[in-house]
């Protein structure tokens, strides 16, 4: 359930309202007027909470839940204990998320710490241009020629460099830095994000490494969200681009000239080397490494810890190092395991013969 100190419910919907919102069916005997004031897991839910189940592995927890109501697929309706209202749903977790969004809209994005407007202690250059309704919190710095749209919040300690352009209803997290960048609308940067610093470019030689000027930008399109302490380098000779709707986790490194498509999902500790290209709806699991100059096609999915050294076709599922079709990778892993088991068995057999 939400901690009442940090997350106060914005609504208390009835079961009938939840059914209408989610498309769930309230089963016979339930009170449609009963109000829900919180959400929680099966094992921690209380008498005013909504919970859900979408996997049979949690049936033991369902049997003992004390929730007011449970979103449940048809195949598990019979397992809902007496006294718990059942809301039948084909997609219980999706329905649960809809209720979460209704109850806790404030948890959808970071909130200002010091209220709205330009706070005392904020530093806004006289040549910066801010639309009405921009919030700049204490310790934040806005450089000359920067442009920021209404509804955007620049959190404490954040730095927006000269001539950066930020759209409307964005959030620039505490301690973040944004330079050499253009941001669209509704972009969320979590604390410590670094946007637009030098790409890693050097001309290597026997007498030392000569720095190559990085003269591109970072372009971040609408509705992108970037997790804490992620770094996105500006382009060397063209832009680094993050496509609309893409979601990037914490601690991700994206090199110069990378082009990421729309609605991609990039999980924590991924590293993408310079000039790599990702199509739309690509998914990269945690700790995936992507070599420079490779292309990952539309809708491809890459399993955690994989290493991508060659182009990957659209729509495929890949894993391993180097990354290859995931069924092929599974077969190879199984074959190696079987070889190891056979070798171990032979070793034990040989050791037995030596003892005898």
Active site residues: 256
Name the CA radius of gyration of the chain, rounded: 26
d(CA 100, CA 9): 9
The structure tokens listed for 174 are: 């505490």
Q: Among 320, 332, 322, 249, which residue's Cα sits nearest to residue 283?
A: 249
d(CA 170, CA 140): 15
The structure tokens listed for 205 are: 């030689």
Enumerate helices (H) and strands (E) in the chain, giving the number of each.
4, 37
Q: What angle do CA 284, 186, 293 make, to 5 degrees?
A: 35
Instruction: Tell me what percent of the chain is helix, strand and coil, each rounded to the nearest 5.
Output: 20, 25, 55
Assess contact for 312 and 297: CB atoms under 8 A: yes
d(CA 80, CA 304): 35
Distance of CA 272 to the CA centre of its chain: 16
Report residue 245: phi and psi, to 5°.
75, 0
């Amino acid at each position: 359930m939400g901690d009442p100190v940090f997350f106060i419910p914005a609504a208390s919907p009835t079961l009938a309202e939840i059914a209408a919102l989610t498309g769930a069916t309230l089963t016979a005997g339930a009170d449609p007027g009963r109000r829900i004031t919180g959400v929680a897991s099966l094992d921690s839910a209380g008498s005013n909470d909504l919970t859900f189940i979408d996997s049979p592995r949690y049936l033991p927890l369902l049997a003992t839940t004390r929730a007011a109501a449970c979103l449940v697929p048809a195949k598990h309706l019979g397992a809902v204990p007496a006294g718990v209202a059942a809301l039948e749903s084909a997609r219980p977790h999706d329905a649960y998320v809809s209720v979460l969004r209704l109850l806790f809209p404030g948890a959808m994005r970071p909130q200002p710490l010091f209220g709205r407007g330009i706070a005392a202690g904020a530093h806004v250059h006289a040549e910066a241009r801010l639309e009405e309704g921009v919030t700049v919190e204490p310790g934040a710095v806005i450089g000359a020629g920067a442009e920021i749209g209404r509804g955007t919040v620049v959190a404490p300690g954040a730095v927006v460099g000269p001539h950066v352009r930020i759209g409307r209803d964005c959030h620039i997290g505490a301690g973040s830095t944004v330079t050499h960048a253009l941001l669209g609308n509704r972009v969320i940067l979590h604390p410590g994000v670094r946007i637009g610093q030098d790409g890693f470019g050097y001309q290597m030689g026997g007498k030392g490494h000569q720095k190559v000027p990085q003269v591109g930008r970072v372009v971040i399109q609408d509705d992108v969200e970037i997790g804490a302490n992620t770094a996105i380098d500006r382009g060397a000779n063209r832009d680094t681009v993050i496509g609309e709707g893409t979601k990037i986790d914490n601690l991700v490194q994206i090199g110069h000239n990378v082009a990421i498509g729309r609605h991609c999902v990039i999980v924590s500790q991924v590293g993408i080397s310079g000039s790599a290209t990702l199509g739309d709806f690509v998914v990269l699991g945690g700790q995936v490494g992507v070599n420079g100059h490779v292309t990952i096609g539309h809708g491809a999915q890459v399993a955690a810890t994989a290493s991508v050294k060659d182009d990957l076709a659209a729509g495929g599922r890949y894993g391993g190092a180097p990354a290859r079709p995931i069924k092929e990778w599974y077969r190879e892993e199984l074959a190696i395991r079987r070889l190891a088991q056979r070798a171990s068995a032979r070793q034990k057999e040989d050791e037995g013969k030596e003892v005898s």
